[in-house]
Amino acid sequence: MRLQRRRGALLVLAALALFFLAAAFTGCDPALLWSRRGHLADILVKMFPPDWGWFPRILAPLWATVQMSVAGTALGALLALAAAPLCAGNLPFPAPLRTALRALVQLTRTFPALILALTATFLVGIGPFAGTAAITVYTFAIMARLTSDDIETAPDGAFRALLTMGTPPYRAFFRGMFPSVASTYLTNALYLLETNVRHSAILGYVGAGGIGLLLNEKISWREYEKVGSILLALFLAVCLIESLSAYLTALVTGRRKAGRTLRRVIIAAAVVLTLVSAATVGRPDFARTSLRTAAAMLGGLVHPDWGFFFDTGAGGLGYLLLETVAIALAGTVLGALASFPLALLGSGRLMPRPVALLGRTVCLAIRAVPFLVYGLIFIRATGPGPFTGVLTIAVCSVGLISKRFGQAIDTMDMRAYRALASMGVPVLSRVRWALLPQLGPAFGSAVLYRFDVNIREASVLGLVGAGGIGAPLVFAMDHFDWPTAGAIAIGLVLLVWAIDWLSGQLRKN
Amino acid sequence: MFLRLQDVCKSYNGGSVRALDGVSFAVAEGQFVSVIGPSGAGKTTLVRLLCGAERCDAGQIELDGVRLDQARGGALRALQRRLGSIWQDFALVEQASALQNVLNAALPDMSPLPALAGAFGRQRRDEAAALLDRVGLADKLDAPVHQLSGGQKQRVAIARALMRRPALLLADEPVASLDPVTGRQIMELLQDIRRTEGLTVLMNSHDLALAKEFSDRLIGLNTGRVVYDGPADVPDQALAAVYGGGEAAP
Ligand SMILES: Nc1ncnc2c1ncn2[C@@H]1O[C@H](COP(=O)(O)OP(=O)(O)O)[C@@H](O)[C@H]1O
Ligand SMILES: [Mg+2]
B88 domain-assigned: no
Does the pLDDT value for residue B95 go beyond 60? yes
Does the pLDDT value for residue A5 go beyond 70? no
How far away is chain A from the Cα of B167, in angstroms, using its nearest Cα?
12
B91 domain-assigned: no
The C-alpha atoms of residue A205 and residue A114 are separated, in whole angstroms, by 8
The C-alpha atoms of residue B35 and residue B229 are separated, in whole angstroms, by 9
User: Out of A312-316, A414-418, B2-6, B33-37, which region has the weakest mean confidence (pLDDT)?
Assistant: A312-316
B5 domain-assigned: yes
Question: What is the model's pLDDT at position A87?
Answer: 92
User: What pairs with residue B86 in β-bridges?
Assistant: B171
Number of domains in chain B: 2
Question: What is the model's pLDDT at position B247?
Answer: 45
Do B112 and B65 share a structural domain? no
Give the CA distances from residue A131 to residues A73, A219, A238, A464, in Å, rounded to whole numbers and listed in that order.
11, 21, 18, 19
Does the pLDDT value for residue B63 go beyond 50? yes
The mean pLDDT value for A404-420 works out to 87
Q: What residue numbers bound the domain in which B45 lies?
A: 1-82+166-250
B87 domain-assigned: no
pLDDT tens-digit readout, A139-150 = 999 999 999 988
Do B172 and B73 share a structural domain? yes
pLDDT tens-digit readout, A11-50 = 888 888 999 999 988 888 888 888 888 888 888 888 878 8
Confidence of residue B248 (pLDDT cuts 50, 70, 90): very low
Question: What is the model's pLDDT at position B3?
Answer: 93
Please state whether B116 falls in left (phi above 0), alpha (psi between -120 and 50) or beta: alpha
Q: Is residue B139 within 8 angstroms of chain A, CB to CB?
A: no
pLDDT tens-digit readout, A380-405 = 888 888 999 999 999 989 988 888 88
Ligand 1 pocket check for B43: Cβ under 6 Å? yes
Q: Is residue A2 within 8 angstroms of chain B, CB to CB?
A: no
pLDDT tens-digit readout, A481-497 = 899 999 999 999 999 88
The mean pLDDT value for A246-253 works out to 84
Do B184 and B73 share a structural domain? yes
How far away is chain B from the Cα of A178, in angstroms, using its nearest Cα?
29
User: CB A423 to CB B99 under 8 A?
Assistant: no
Confidence of residue A286 (pLDDT cuts 50, 70, 90): confident
User: CB A422 to CB B53 under 8 A?
Assistant: yes
Question: Residue B53 Cα, ligand 1 centroid: separation in angstroms?
Answer: 14
Do B157 and B116 share a structural domain? yes
Q: Is residue B200 within 8 angstroms of chain A, CB to CB?
A: no
In sequence order, what are the residues at sequence separation of 6 or more whose Cβ sits closer than 8 angstroms to the Cβ of residue B248? B38, B39
Does the pLDDT value for residue B249 go beyond 50? no
Going along chain A from its start, the domains and CATH numbers come out as 18-46+290-508 (1.10.3720.10), 52-280 (1.10.3720.10)
The C-alpha atoms of residue A468 and residue A317 are separated, in whole angstroms, by 10
The DSSP bridge pattern shows strands B83-87 and B168-172 to be parallel
Contact yes or no for B218/B206 (Cβ under 8 A): no
* Residue B181, phi then psi, degrees to nearest 5: -65, -50
The mean pLDDT value for A57-78 works out to 91
Please state whether B163 falls in left (phi above 0), alpha (psi between -120 and 50) or beta: alpha
Confidence of residue A285 (pLDDT cuts 50, 70, 90): confident
B59 domain-assigned: yes
The mean pLDDT value for A361-370 works out to 86
Does the pLDDT value for residue A174 go beyond 70? yes
For A472, the 3-state DSSP assignment is helix
B38 domain-assigned: yes
Does the pLDDT value for residue A201 go beyond 50? yes
| Residue numbers in B near A1 (CB within 8 A) | 97, 99, 125, 141-142
Do B76 and B10 share a structural domain? yes
Question: What is the model's pLDDT at position A255?
Answer: 79
Burial label for A169, CB within 10 Å (0-12, 13-18, 19+), is middle
pLDDT tens-digit readout, B170-213 = 999 998 888 888 889 889 988 888 888 889 999 999 888 889 99
B9 domain-assigned: yes
Contact yes or no for B91/A418 (Cβ under 8 A): yes
Edge-to-edge, what's the strand order for the sheet holding B217-222? B83-87, B168-172, B200-205, B32-36, B217-222, B225-231
Question: What is the model's pLDDT at position A4?
Answer: 65
The C-alpha atoms of residue A206 and residue A165 are separated, in whole angstroms, by 53
Do B62 and B1 share a structural domain? yes
The mean pLDDT value for A130-146 works out to 93
Question: What is the model's pLDDT at position A376?
Answer: 84
Contact yes or no for A108/A141 (Cβ under 8 A): yes
Q: Which amino acid belongs to residue A176?
A: G
Does the pLDDT value for residue B231 go beyond 80? yes
How far away is chain A from the Cα of B77, in angstroms, using its nearest Cα?
5
Confidence of residue B49 (pLDDT cuts 50, 70, 90): very high
Nearest CB to B94: which of A413, A420, A440?
Answer: A413
* Residue A93, phi then psi, degrees to nearest 5: -100, 160
The mean pLDDT value for A242-261 works out to 83
The DSSP bridge pattern shows strands B58-63 and B66-67 to be antiparallel
User: CB A425 to CB B116 under 8 A?
Assistant: no
Does the pLDDT value for residue B246 go beyond 60? no
What is the CA angle A75-A79-A82, rounded to 5? Answer: 145
Contact yes or no for A442/A404 (Cβ under 8 A): yes
Ligand 1 pocket check for B41: Cβ under 6 Å? yes
For A68, the 3-state DSSP assignment is helix
Confidence of residue A251 (pLDDT cuts 50, 70, 90): confident
Do B25 and B56 share a structural domain? yes
Question: What is the model's pLDDT at position A104?
Answer: 92
The mean pLDDT value for A89-104 works out to 90
- Which residue, of B165, B196, B216, is where some domain finishes? B165
Do B72 and B147 share a structural domain? no
Mean pLDDT for all residues in chain A: 86
- Which residue, of B165, B184, B205, is where some domain finishes? B165
Do B179 and B63 share a structural domain? yes
Question: What is the model's pLDDT at position A1?
Answer: 53
The pTM score is 0.77
Do B225 and B149 share a structural domain? no
Closest CA to A203 of A277, A111, A135, A110: A135
Question: What is the model's pLDDT at position A509?
Answer: 66
Question: What is the model's pLDDT at position A134?
Answer: 93
Element (H, E) at A66: helix A55-87
Contact yes or no for B8/B22 (Cβ under 8 A): yes
Q: At what angle do helices A386-410 and A371-382 cross, to 10 degrees?
A: 130
Largest CA distance in chain A: 77
Burial label for A66, CB within 10 Å (0-12, 13-18, 19+), is buried
The mean pLDDT value for A195-205 works out to 85
The C-alpha atoms of residue A184 and residue A181 are separated, in whole angstroms, by 6
The mean pLDDT value for A455-465 works out to 86
User: CB B95 to CB A441 under 8 A?
Assistant: yes
The C-alpha atoms of residue B22 and residue B39 are separated, in whole angstroms, by 19
Question: What is the model's pLDDT at position A38?
Answer: 85
Contact yes or no for A423/B105 (Cβ under 8 A): yes
What b/e string do you get for A99-113 counting C-beta neighbours within 10 Å, with b at 16 or more?
A: eebbeebbebbbbbb
The DSSP bridge pattern shows strands B66-67 and B225-231 to be unpaired
Q: Is residue A426 within 8 angstroms of chain B, CB to CB?
A: yes
Contact yes or no for A473/A290 (Cβ under 8 A): no
Does the pLDDT value for residue B145 go beyond 90? yes
Do B18 and B4 share a structural domain? yes
Question: Residue B2 Cα, ligand 1 centroid: separation in angstroms?
Answer: 26
Do B158 and B192 share a structural domain? no
The C-alpha atoms of residue B176 and residue B210 are separated, in whole angstroms, by 11
Contact yes or no for A431/A286 (Cβ under 8 A): no
Ligand 1 pocket check for B23: Cβ under 6 Å? no
User: Out of A192-196, A280-284, B87-91, which region has the weakest mean confidence (pLDDT)?
Assistant: A280-284
The mean pLDDT value for A55-70 works out to 88
Taking the CA of residue B45 as reference, the ligand 1 atom at the shortest distance is 17
Which B residues 48-107 touch A at CB under 8 Å?
51-53, 76-81, 83-85, 87, 89-97, 99-101, 104-105, 107
Report the nearest-CA residue for atom 1 of ligand 1.
Answer: B12
- Which residue, of B117, B146, B165, is where some domain finishes? B165
Question: What is the model's pLDDT at position A444?
Answer: 83
Contact yes or no for A64/A201 (Cβ under 8 A): no
Q: At what angle do helices A55-87 and A128-153 cross, to 10 degrees?
A: 40
The mean pLDDT value for A416-431 works out to 90
Contact yes or no for B168/B202 (Cβ under 8 A): yes
Q: Which amino acid belongs to residue A215?
A: L
How far away is chain A from the Cα of B204, in angstroms, using its nearest Cα?
16
* Residue B96, phi then psi, degrees to nearest 5: -90, 160
Q: What is the interface pTM, i.e. ipTM, of the complex? A: 0.86
